[in-house]
Chains A and B, each alone.
Chain A
Amino acid sequence: DQQVKQNSPSLSVQEGRISILNCDYTNSMFDYFLWYKKYPAEGPTFLISISSIKDKNEDGRFTVFLNKSAKHLSLHIVPSQPGDSAVYFCAASEGRGSSNTGKLIFGQGTTLQVKP
C-alpha cells in the first residue's frame, strides 16, 4: 500500500533548464509535505516543505506546488545545476498540530541527473 508515489524513477535535464519532480499521494489526512535530497552513501537532506493550507512555497531555486484536490505535489528547480544531481524523495506526514507526530511516509524517489 504505497501512500506516496513518485512514478518517475529518473529524470535527466540540461543545466540551466527547469527540473520538475512529481509526487502523488492517496491519504487525505496528510497535512505536511516535504522534499528531501539524497546523495549516495549519505542521509537525506531536507530541501523544502509545504503545509496543506498552502499551495506554493518558494525557497531560492526551489519551489514546491501542492494541488490538494488532485493529491499531487511537485518540486521545481530552476535553473538546474549539475550539483543538483541526486535522488529526490517526496515525504508526507499525517495529522494537524499535536496529532502529527512527525512520522514520515516516503515515496520511492526520483533520480535527477543534470547534464552540463
Chain B
Amino acid sequence: NAGVMQNPRHLVRRRGQEARLRCSPMKGHSHVYWYRQLPEEGLKFMVYLQKENIIDESGMPKERFSAEFPKEGPSILRIQQVVRGDSAAYFCASSQTGTGNTEAFFGQGTRLTVV
C-alpha cells in the first residue's frame, strides 16, 4: 500500500530553466494539495486539485507556476524560468474526500535547488 509518491526527491535547475515536480497520490485518493516550505518556515499552501480540475489556486504565485492533475497519471507542479527564490521543499498531500476532517497524507517532498 504505497503512500504518496513524489519524484524526483532532489532537483537542481539553473536559473531560467523549467522544473517539473510529480506527485502520485495514495491509491483511492482523488484530492491533491501542493505546499511549499521555504528554509526556516512552515509549509505554505499553493494549490488544491481534483482530477482534471483546479479547485483552489489562491496560494500559487501569479506567474511562472502552474499545476495540473490529469485524468490519468500524476499531478504535476510546473515552474517555468526558475529563479533562486524558488529554491524550497515542495510537498504534495492527498486525501480521500477533500474535506477538513479527513487526514491528508504527505509525500516525502521534492527539494528544488536553483543555481
Interface set of A (CB-CB < 8 Å, partner B) = 4, 6, 31-32, 34, 36, 41-46, 49, 51, 89, 91, 93-95, 97-98, 100-109
Residues from chain A with a CB closer than 8 A to the CB of B91 are 43-44
Interface set of B (CB-CB < 8 Å, partner A) = 4, 6, 31, 33, 35, 41-45, 48, 55-56, 91, 93, 95, 97-109, 111
Partner of B106 from the list A31, A45, A97, A98 (CB cut-off 8 Å) is A45
Contacting pair B101 A51 (CB below 8 A) = yes
Given known A-B contacts A49-B103, A93-B100, A102 and B41 have beta carbons under 8 A apart: no
Contacting pair B98 A106 (CB below 8 A) = no
Partner of A89 from the list B43, B95, B104, B105 (CB cut-off 8 Å) is B43
Residues from chain B with a CB closer than 8 A to the CB of A32 are 100-101
A42–B45 CA distance with the chains assembled, in angstroms: 17
Partner of B45 from the list A49, A104, A108 (CB cut-off 8 Å) is A104
Contacting pair B98 A101 (CB below 8 A) = yes
Contacting pair B100 A100 (CB below 8 A) = yes
Contacting pair B107 A108 (CB below 8 A) = no
A107–B13 CA distance with the chains assembled, in angstroms: 29
Residues from chain A with a CB closer than 8 A to the CB of B106 are 36, 43-45
Residues from chain B with a CB closer than 8 A to the CB of A94 are 100
Contacting pair B44 A106 (CB below 8 A) = yes
How far does the Cβ of A93 sit from chain B's closest Cβ, in whole Å? Answer: 4
Q: State the 9 A-B residue pairs at the shortest beta-carbon distance, nearest first.
A: A100-B100, A43-B106, A93-B100, A106-B42, A32-B100, A106-B43, A108-B42, A44-B106, A43-B108
A77–B33 CA distance with the chains assembled, in angstroms: 28
Residues from chain A with a CB closer than 8 A to the CB of B43 are 44, 89, 91, 104, 106
